[in-house]
Structure 1
């Protein structure tokens, strides 16, 4: 199924952006394409076209109470192929979105894949009723911008408004379906980048060793929250000079 995406155009100033990959952004659970509101302008200013995608059951994308991780990834692949056929792709995925990216990358073959605070493992085997109840309770809590700011003091007023809106659009049934299926662990391609909170509740020392063994570049940000760019925006962008460095168009090379 095709997913909703915020689709930007590259800068028109000079030749900036000519030949640069399209950057695909995949949010985490209970987020949305709006979660990247701080990141998108930096990428477009450097000439990139950006596709910030709402994953199934999030934002303005369709719901699917029988969704699997493979189907979520296939929907991302289909959406990219529909909106940016034949384009070189850089992809950034956060948490759940990073797991979807790890599955989709096998087909998309991105120029560069960046995984943000994700161990790239899905436990599976969850109880649907328990998960739906838990996700609905979390959704109700996060629908209040004031509550979010109290829970996460590093949020700006706009951060809280954006994430509260994302929670109101979130479908617990779709997300629960993902966690009720089979478990799986993904190994990123060599040359991929993992940016993680340090310490992280989502990326274990074993994960870090597993990624390093296969040639993943591991970059920690001390004291960062799980949504790294919300709490440590400057440090997050500094950790990715390939995308946010001073010289547009000279940062990335194909991984395969």
Structure 2
């Protein structure tokens, strides 16, 4: 499936951005321009079922196949958040970027007593500004407003397709290309043991202390600093 894309910049180097569940390219409203200022042509996709991209069917391999069909291969940098990071990890061997960054990727079952089943995200379809603010107290007002807009454009069947028998751990066996994993210090996905397992498979792991799951919105400066040496 050809995905809807949005671009910033005209640089010689190419960076790809892939959003998480319930979101779309608008989540990168600060990251895209920042990378463009650093000399990149930045391409951000809307995953299937999100934003302006087509709907269904859904599944982890389909999200990855779409990236391969839509994006150029062998770019300088690919960066994905959450679901987008999971999709990138399944596509990276075919895309063969020079570097990959996985921002709090949806690879684990969560560090709570009960696994964070993706089906729970369906409840956000009825989210209010107050609800989003309670979950994301550090977000700027613009991010709350954009999240409401992206949720409105999102098909919750994407979450249901990753639930049930499809809900499993997805830590890659190895880093196919030089790869960084950003972990949210206040996130819910990674335990210390998870970080050790990821590092043992060849990924560099950096924790952004104090940041929640959507690191680039929770602590933009910390997010960018964590990318030192990778962008």
- TM-score band by shorter chain is 0.7 to 0.9
C-alpha change, 1:131 and 1:201, in structure 2 (3 Å) is closer
Cα distance in 1 for residues equivalent to 2:3 and 2:28: 16
C-alpha change, 1:55 and 1:45, in structure 2 (3 Å) is same
2:138 is the counterpart of 1:154: yes
2:6 is the counterpart of 1:6: yes
CA displacement, residues 150-182 of structure 1 (integer Å, 9 cap, x when unaligned): 442211111111111011011111331133454
The residue that corresponds to 1:13 in the other structure is: none
2:113 is the counterpart of 1:137: no
2:202 is the counterpart of 1:215: yes
Aligned Cα RMSD in Å?
Answer: 2.2
Match 1:185 to one of 159, 170, 177: 170
Q: Is the 8 A contact 1:94 1:116 kept in 2?
A: yes
Moved over 6 A (4+): none
Structure 1 stretches lacking a partner, 5+ long: 11-16, 124-129, 245-256
1:80-119 to 2 correspondences below 5 Å: 80=71, 84=72, 88-118=75-105
1:203-242 to 2 correspondences below 5 Å: 203-242=190-229
Q: Is the 8 A contact 1:146 1:160 kept in 2?
A: no
Q: Is the 8 A contact 2:133 2:144 kept in 1?
A: yes
Larger Rg: 1
C-alpha change, 1:216 and 1:44, in structure 2 (3 Å) is same
Q: Between Structure 1 and Structure 2, how many residues are aligned?
A: 222
Cα distance in 2 for residues equivalent to 1:158 and 1:200: 22
Pairwise CA distance, 1:210 = 1.2
Cα distance in 1 for residues equivalent to 2:135 and 2:187: 18
Cα distance in 1 for residues equivalent to 2:210 and 2:194: 19
1:23-62 to 2 correspondences below 5 Å: 23-62=15-54
Pairwise CA distance, 1:31 = 1.1
Cα distance in 1 for residues equivalent to 2:129 and 2:207: 29
Q: Is the 8 A contact 1:4 1:60 kept in 2?
A: yes
Q: Is the 8 A contact 2:74 2:97 kept in 1?
A: no
Q: Is the 8 A contact 1:103 1:186 kept in 2?
A: no
Please state whether the residue corresponding to 1:49 is helix, strand or coil. Answer: strand
In the superposition, the TM-score normalised over structure 2's length comes to 0.87
Pairwise CA distance, 1:137 = 2.3
In the superposition, the TM-score normalised over structure 1's length comes to 0.79
Please state whether the residue corresponding to 1:185 is helix, strand or coil. Answer: coil
CA displacement, residues 3-27 of structure 1 (integer Å, 9 cap, x when unaligned): 11112332xxxxxx33x2x111111
Pairwise CA distance, 1:131 = 6.7
Q: Is the 8 A contact 1:131 1:176 kept in 2?
A: yes
Please state whether the residue corresponding to 1:29 is helix, strand or coil. Answer: coil
C-alpha change, 1:150 and 1:122, in structure 2 (3 Å) is closer
